[in-house]
Amino acid sequence: MLMLPRRYVLIIAEKPKAASKIAQALSRTKPVKYKMYGVPYWIVYRNGVPYVIASAAGHLFALTTSEHGFPVFKYYWVPAWAVDREARYTRPYYLVLKNLCKYAIAFVNACDYDIEGSVIGYLIIKEFGNLGRAYRAKFSTLTSQDLRQAFKNLSKGLDMPMVEAGLCRHELDWIWGINVSRALMYAVKLATGKRVILSAGRVQSPTLVEVVNTEKQRNLFIPTPMFNISVSVAIGGKTYALEYLGESFTRKIDAENALKEIKKEKWAIVEKVKYEVEKIKPPPPFNLGDLQAEASKIYGFSPLKTQELAEQLYLDALISYPRTNSQKLPPTINYESIMSKLKEISEYSNLVRDLLRETKGILKPHEGVKTDPAHPAIYPTGLKPRKLSVDQQKIYDLIVKRFLATFSTDTILHSITVYLRIARFKFRLKLRRLHLKGWLKYYPFLNIDYVEDLPLIGKGQKLPIVKARITTTYSRYGKFYDKSSLLKWMESVNIGTESTRARIIENLFSRGYLKTVKGKIEVTPLGYAVSEILEKYFKDLTSVELTRKFEKMLNDIREGRVKRENVVLESKNILSKILLEFKNGAAEKAGIELGKSLKYIPVEIKCIICGSEAIDMKLCRNHLRALENILEKYKVWVQAYGSLSWKEYLKKISSLNISGKWVREVAKGMLEGIVKVNLQ
């Protein structure tokens, strides 16, 4: 039997914890909790009006189709649990809301105020309720004060531009994902008769292609040797290493001649001394991307882990809404109240006192340039945490300390730059001393090299040379990805959203396309195979430009400049043309290529290194390119060292970790006699 008032307002939260917070905020006494299908809901009375607060469990609806094959452009919304085994847990929430909507006189979407929350609430009210009697609650924290304020200022009607943008994103992701995935699977079945699960996605595919192309270049990379002069001098009983200001020597003999000249000298002559004051401005408050980057750098957390931990803190009302792009703290936030509460938390009481003393109570945040139309930057609410896990505490601590730092003053360094000459060669020594900690006192996670005291040095002074030698360095392939830097790349090219990027990256791992080795992302054979087919036969669909174009269109829908139907139609037209061309032409060829990569189709000649299909010299395409690079680069190494045998060269490049993986494998193969090359 349902325990319900006769007429009530139904408030729909996104998750049970949020529903509980809303019930507590709106009730003058302890809210009454009930259960239906094992799912909690609450009844409270406010100004004589009964409110029922219930919860979704994220998305309760998903898109599906009854059509087979591809292209497929007919789809509709159904209960998520009916089409996705992993969404079965949502069924009781679906049934509860279906029942509760029957007797409600009005509906409040109190899901997270973002695109996803807007869609979740909209679909529930559209399916079970009445959109004409719907309202929207907008809040950035789950504190009682903010929630009460939000419910005092409900918007009549739902935020339809945001809903339309969200619906469009779901439709685009669905029609791209299902059609290209089905095309890949169709190709494999056509060529091999086997059914295999492969997936592609509107944002997932260009992200995979970017990682694959980067790794290919890295795996083919051969470093170039360079030679430098390393000199140390004595100042006041301490030894300091000088920085050589000339270009690196490309030939070892030139470096040796330079070293001979330097070793004839006993002194480094000071030609110029420059004293400077350096100021490092406070960092802006966190948005989600910055928080994910810092948590990765400091604690090694993946972007998704950081996002999930931050969401847990938000649901406990400890921080503001985390899925934001904003680096701004609006004046409407009561900084003084937050500081007052943080002062009561023992770990931060001294820091807050110091900050208030430093600022004389005038709190003005140092903001960044990024904004978000829905939410401010991430900030602590000041509520005292209880029973946080170790990892939750780490993220909470980062957010609090960053918040404090943004109100502080510049970090000030005093620096001395000394320009020196030894024979005809120029050197530099730069030392810094920390003069004023400023914001570093509150957020001590920036590594700055500094000395306790700056030595007294004057122009014309002679500094004794302690040591001089040649150092060999190598050019490096600068680009590699871990999960954090891949997310930053997605941000930089504007594909995906704050909410979706981390999950898309994890999907590439769960699909078996990527793996992590020693903290770096590596592509699996399946990842290479799928990426190469996508780039070859669906090049437009994997381009960042097209993905970014549709991201802009989604934003235009949100801003009311474009209609959802027009964006979806354009997407269908682009997809239809490409998919039909593939189906009627290249599918079998692509299926054969995929079948060989997946080992379903035996290859005539195998690569003697990896077992893939050999193109020439019993090497696959990748190892053949590595061999070509090795042959080409040998001349550069001989020129650098003056004389260098082929065997010595192979030993050097195969032992250097900065050499590409395929290069090392081919070099070792030649040393072992597996790969045979005629150098004539």
User: Is residue 163 in a domain?
Assistant: no
**CA torsion angle for 79, 82, 85, 87 (degrees, to 10)?**
20
Retrieve residue 39's tokens: 């799912």
Q: Domain check: are 17 and 152 in the same one?
A: yes
Q: How far is CA 73 from the centre of its chain?
A: 31
Please state the φ and ψ torsions of residue 446, each to the nearest 5 degrees: -100, 125
Pairing state between β 134-136 and 104-110: parallel
Q: What is the pLDDT of residue 328?
A: 96
Which pTM does this prediction carry? 0.91
Tell whether 536 and 560 lie within a shared domain. yes
| 124 and 29 housed in the same domain | yes
pLDDT of residue 2: 63
The C-alpha atoms of residue 145 and residue 25 are separated, in whole angstroms, by: 7
- Give the whole-angstrom CA distance, residue 301 versus residue 295: 6
Assigned domain for 303 exists: yes
Burial of 422 (0-12, 13-18, 19+ CB in 10 A): buried
CB 526 within 8 A of CB 514: no
Residues 573 and 623 in one domain: no
What's the structural domain count of the chain? 5
Coil, helix or strand at residue 216: helix
Are 298 and 417 members of one domain?
no
Kind of pairing between the strands at 462-474 and 514-517: unpaired
At 477 the pLDDT is: 87
**Residue 331's pLDDT is what?**
84
- Confirm if 425 and 246 have CB atoms less than 8 A apart: yes
Integer Cα distance of 530 and 454 in angstroms: 57
78-95 confidence digits (pLDDT tens): 999 999 999 999 999 999
Catalytic residue (choose from 321, 335, 481, 641): 321
Q: Is residue 570 classed as helix, strand or coil in its secondary structure?
A: helix
Q: Any catalytic annotation for residue 321?
A: yes
- Quote the pLDDT of residue 490: 95
Residue 44, φ and ψ in degrees, nearest 5: -135, 155
- CA 610, 612, 615 angle in degrees (round to 5)? 110
Please tell me the distance from the alpha carbon of residue 6 to that of residue 582, in angstroms, as a whole number: 59
In degrees and rounded to multiples of 5, residue 302 shows phi and psi of -70, 155
- CATH number of 520's domain: 1.10.460.10
Whole-number Å distance between alpha carbons of 295 and 286: 11
Looking at the structure, tell me whether residues 422 and 377 fall in a common domain.
no
Do both 435 and 510 map to the same domain? no
Q: Find all residues with CB under 8 Å of 49, minimum gap 6, and list them.
A: 8, 9
Q: Which residue is listed with tokens 């921080």?
A: 319
Instruction: Evaluate the omega torsion of the peptide bond into residue 282 and state whether it is cis, within 30 degrees of 0.
Output: no
Q: Same structural domain for residues 264 and 308?
A: no
185 found inside a domain: yes
Q: What is the pLDDT of residue 680?
A: 62
Please give the pLDDT value at position 312. 97
Q: What are phi and psi of 342, to 5 degrees?
A: -65, -30
Q: Name residues of the chain where pLDDT drops below 70.
A: 1-2, 680
CATH number at residue 152: 3.40.50.140
Specify whether 456 is located in the same domain as 556.
Answer: no
Please identify, among 474, 493, 517, the residue that sits at the C-terminal boundary of a domain. Answer: 474
295 and 347 both lie in a single domain: yes
Are 393 and 529 in a shared domain?
no
Q: Which pairing describes strands 462-474 and 411-422: parallel, antiparallel, or unpaired?
A: unpaired
What is the secondary structure of 404-471 as a DSSP string?
HHTTSPPEEEEEEEEEEEETTEEEEEEEEEEEE-GGGGT--------BSSPPP--TT-EEEEEEEEEE
DSSP type of residue 330: -
CB atoms within 10 A of CB 622: 22
Q: Could you read off the pLDDT of 570-603 as tens digits, one per residue?
A: 999 999 999 999 999 899 999 999 999 888 999 9
Strand pairing category for 514-517 and 225-235: unpaired
Within a domain: 3? no
State how far the Cα of 389 lies from the Cα of 402, in Å rounded to an integer: 20
Q: Is residue 444 part of a domain?
A: yes
The answer to whether position 1 is within a domain reads no
With the CA atoms of 401, 405, 407 and 411 taken in that order, what torsion angle do they form, in degrees rounded to the nearest 10? Answer: 170
Map tokens 């040998």 to a residue: 634
Q: Check: CB of residue 262 under 8 Å from CB of residue 422.
A: yes
Contacts of 624 (CB under 8 A, 6+ apart): 615, 616, 617
Same domain? 422 vs 510: no
Contact between residue 286 and residue 445 where contact means Cβ atoms under 8 Å apart: no
Report the alpha-carbon distance of residue 483 to residue 307 in Å, rounded.
13
Of 542, 575, 597, the last residue of a domain is 597
Give the model's pLDDT for residue 433: 95
Residue identified by tokens 């035996």 is: 602
Determine contact, residues 403/263, Cβ cutoff 8 Å.
no
Beta strands 462-474; 267-280: pairing state? antiparallel
Enumerate helices (H) and strands (E) in the chain, giving the number of each: 22, 18
Please say whether the beta carbons of 170 and 59 come within 8 A.
Answer: no
Structural domain ending residue among the three candidates 403, 422, 452: 403
CA 420 to CA 429: how far, in whole Å?
8
Looking at residue 570, its pLDDT comes to: 96
Which residue range forms the structural domain that includes residue 433?
225-281+411-474
Give kind and range of the element (H or E) at residue 273. Answer: strand 267-280
